[in-house]
Structure 1
Amino acid sequence: MAAVPDRVSVLVYSNSAEVRAQVRTAVGRRPAPDIGRIDWVECATTADVQRELDEGGIDVAILDGEAQPTGGMGLARQYKYELADCPPIVVLIARPQDGWLASWSLADAVINTPIDPVESASVVAEQLRRRHTDIPVVR
């Protein structure tokens, strides 16, 4: 098993700068003691997300399910089918009832809004561990 590197890249996508800031603040720079420092990659458009994922080097992607004009759940499903080495995807959901839709999107995890710092840090840390310790991501 490989250890989580000292630095990891986490992409956060939302058309709202406020939502991106809330995610960054809630998760923080180091969500757990065994997790490396996070380098945040912010994306405001789907073109930005596509470019970053195509370039590689993203360890986890957090996608806003309520983003406009394209929501994170549709993007999650698309990337899970299109990218050979798709990073774990976490989807922000506005309502617990949207959990079934997040499951349809093939998201690896969800973060509920309003964003809870303890929950979000735990979710991101777990996905980073899975990415770097050869634990398969179940789809």
Structure 2
Amino acid sequence: MSDHATDRTAQPGPRVLLYSDDRTVREQVRLAVGPRLGAHEPEIAWTEVATPSAVVAAADGKAWDLLVLDGEADKAGGMGLCRQLKNEVYECPPVLVLTARAEDAWLASWSLADAVVSRPLDAFELQKAVSSLLS
């Protein structure tokens, strides 16, 4: 292995906050994106939360490279949370919103989301969206 590859994997990976009240959705996202963005890249540091209050507290208290919010979560969906965070968090990181259908993209644009991926989750599309937001 070259020194360059060793140096890259020694660097901390991107920090991603993943919100969904459904653990299977969180698992699907992590599996679709994979452990890293590419070969010889550092591992993604995932932090999973399941409640709206945990999202707000985490987004306000730590530096994140990306927020992934489930737009279909019960009680407080990711679209409403996205709009709140974009308006309240200074230098809010990029936000990817997961929607139920492609037709919901207009609502995600209202939420000020930086990117939208609709269900059913396509691993290639999701990985591409995450990668572009982290670049």
Residue identity over aligned pairs, in percent, reads 47
Q: What residue is the counterpart of 2:89 in the other structure?
A: 83
Q: Structure 2 unaligned segments of length 5 or more: list them.
A: 1-10
Q: How many residues align?
A: 126
Q: CA deviation digits over 1:60-84, x for unaligned, max 9?
A: 0000000011000000001101011
Match of 2:32 among 16, 20, 26: 26
1:110 Cα offset (Å)? 0.7
Task: List per-residue Cα deviations over 1:13-46 (Å, max 9, x = no partner).
Answer: 0000010100011011112348532010001001
Larger Rg: 2
RMSD, matched Cα: 1.6
Query: Structure 1 residue 105 and structure 2 residue 111: aligned?
Result: yes
Match of 2:47 among 13, 17, 41: 41
Alignment of structure 1 residues 123-134 onto 2, 5 Å? 123-129=129-135
Partners of 1:35 and 1:69 lie apart in 2 by 36
Tell me the TM-score normalised to structure 1 length: 0.85
Equivalent position amino acid for 2:86 in 1 = K
CA 1:35–1:78 in 2, change beyond 3 Å: closer, same or farther? farther
> Which residue is 1:135 aligned to?
none
**One-letter code aligned to 1:54:** D
Structure 1 stretches of 5 or more lacking a match? Answer: 130-139
Higher helix share: 2
Task: Calculate the TM-score normalised by the size of structure 2.
Answer: 0.87
Distance 2:113 2:29 in 1: 17
Q: Which has the higher contact order (CA 8 A, sep 6+)?
A: 1
SS of match in other structure, 2:73: coil
